[in-house]
Structure 1
């Protein structure tokens, strides 16, 4: 037991104090975003919107995320990651609190657009900060630590969120979200101020390559859109599936999602360390992760056994544990040849676009064809993404051969 614990602790060694601080800020911020997992249920039960209307609202969620991510990347390259992260956190805290007062369809569309625009400007800035605060050999593990913080927050958040909903209703979630964003911003101001933080990896490119002209990165972008499209169903379509088909309560749904975050918190870092030691291609590992996500949807249609939802969540969880860190590490590595903010923004935009189309498409499919057909479509779409990643491996191999000549 002591050996296992010692080996687990060793997987965290070598990471900078700045990465640890950034992870804590992310943990506080993520623990507070407990509205998001329950958003579709809130719109359905409290505001009584139809499923197609909920789909459109989630599209505005994605559009705000897209614009915010693009803007965050541009601002990061112009004014620096620190200022972007700071203003994003504090403005998000204000807009989250105000969002609870939007009750009409048009009001909520505008409100969620503004919230996500401001909130997701944080993402490319955080990725660039992570790149600056970590040594080259620690990039993937630094990304994994951030993900551990995100998932620990996501483990705690939905569980607490479920308790808050049962106790005082959905309105309390908006206040908690706003307060935690403000706390994260205050911590950022005190521990990661440019005068205090130590930069470990300075990347200077005299003639930067535009991310928008990198053909291989565009193929990667398409695969990440598909990954995001299928993965994000677990935050919109799937909560309704659990509630309407599997007859689960909000508290049960929160605990299931908490299982996802807790499992990642305990097992992701050792898994990533082990996979890194195998020296596999990052893109190959991402493909394996996406394949596991495809299996997670397939299993839910395979049987009506109630505990299959846990196995489905387990396959999805392992899939994201592999796909997210290595896809992020690939993007960070690729960004060194160009404008870092632009590259990391484009990586994040793939998921923002997923938000636009994933939630809406999922809701529309469920409304017209039912959950069974929707799950089958998601399985096939995820497998298409696996094929695209296999194609990308061949492109990168040819690219490497040309560079070696």
Structure 2
């Protein structure tokens, strides 16, 4: 047992202290994002909106995310990642608190749209900071550490969120989310002053290459969009499926969603370190992650046994553990050709487009065709994602150091 623990700890060797601080800031921030997994339940059960209304509001969520990611990337290249991170965290904290007072579909859609503009300016800035503070050989593991912080936060968040709903109602979630964003800002200002920290990787490019002309990167973005489209169903339509078909309580749903983060916390870093030592390319590993995620939807139609939900969540989690770190690493590698803010903004935007279309489409599919047919459609989109990744793999075959 002691040897196992020692081996686990050794997977974190070599990461800079700035990356550790970024991870802690991310953990504090993400531990408070209890609103997101419960947003569809809040809108339907507390405010009485229809599934179509929920889809509209979630579309506003995605549109704000796209604009915020694009704006964050532009401003990061112009004024630097630090100022953008501080502004985004601090202002979004107050906006999360204010969101609970919006009750009609128009004000909620507008409020969530503006909130996501501010909140998602953080993502490209954080990726550029992560790249700057990581040695080139540690980038995939640095990304994985950030994801561990995110998922540890998500692991605790939904479980605690379920308890808060039982004790304080949905309003308590908005307060906690806002306060944790503000707390993360204060920690960021204290520990990551860019004038006192050592940059580990020079990311300045004299003749930047436009991300919009990078063909492999564009193929990758389309595949990422499809992966995000099906992955996000676990945080919008899936909680409703748990409630309506398998009759789970908010606490049970929170624990099941929290298991996703717990699995990642335990297994992802050792898994990534092992996979980095294999001969598999990044594109191959992303493809395999997409395969597991697609299968996690398909198996739900095989049986009405509630235990299948745990197995499906586990398959999706392993798929996510493999796909996302290597997708991040691929994007950071390609970004060395040009302005990193632009590249990482497009990376974030691909996922934001998944928010725009994924949530509403999922809700509409469930309302029109039922859960079983929706899961078949998600599986098919997963297969299309795999096909694009296979094309990308073939395209990059002549450049193994990049793929």
> TM-score, normalising length from structure 2?
0.99
1:158 maps to which residue? 158
Where does structure 2 lack aligned partners over 5 or more consecutive residues?
none
Matched, 1:341 2:341: yes
For 1:197 and 1:293, the matched residues in 2 are separated by: 39
- After superposing the two structures, state which structure 1 stretch, 142-151 or 188-197, moved more: 188-197
1:388 maps to which residue? 388
1:265 maps to which residue? 265
1:305 maps to which residue? 305
> TM-score, normalising length from structure 1?
0.98
1:191-202 superposed matches below 5 A:
191-202=191-202
Matched, 1:29 2:29: yes
1:141 maps to which residue? 141
For 2:216 and 2:278, the matched residues in 1 are separated by: 24
1:289 maps to which residue? 289
1:119-138 superposed matches below 5 A:
119-138=119-138
Are the aligned partners of 2:272 and 2:322 in contact in 1 as well (CA < 8 Å)? yes
SS of 1:195's partner is: coil
Displacement of 1:399: 5.6
Deviation by residue 1:219-249 (Cα, 9 ceiling, x = unmatched): 0000000000000000100000000011101
1:298-377 superposed matches below 5 A:
298-377=298-377
1:93 maps to which residue? 93
SS of 1:397's partner is: coil
Are the aligned partners of 2:281 and 2:400 in contact in 1 as well (CA < 8 Å)? no
Where does structure 1 lack aligned partners over 5 or more consecutive residues?
none
2:274 maps to which residue? 274
Displacement of 1:400: 6.5
Question: What's the Cα RMSD here?
Answer: 1.1
Aligned residue-pair number: 402
1:38 maps to which residue? 38
For 2:258 and 2:357, the matched residues in 1 are separated by: 25
Displacement of 1:175: 0.4
Deviation by residue 1:273-293 (Cα, 9 ceiling, x = unmatched): 000000310011000000000
1:225-240 superposed matches below 5 A:
225-240=225-240
Are the aligned partners of 2:93 and 2:182 in contact in 1 as well (CA < 8 Å)? yes
For 2:204 and 2:234, the matched residues in 1 are separated by: 39
For 1:187 and 1:246, the matched residues in 2 are separated by: 41
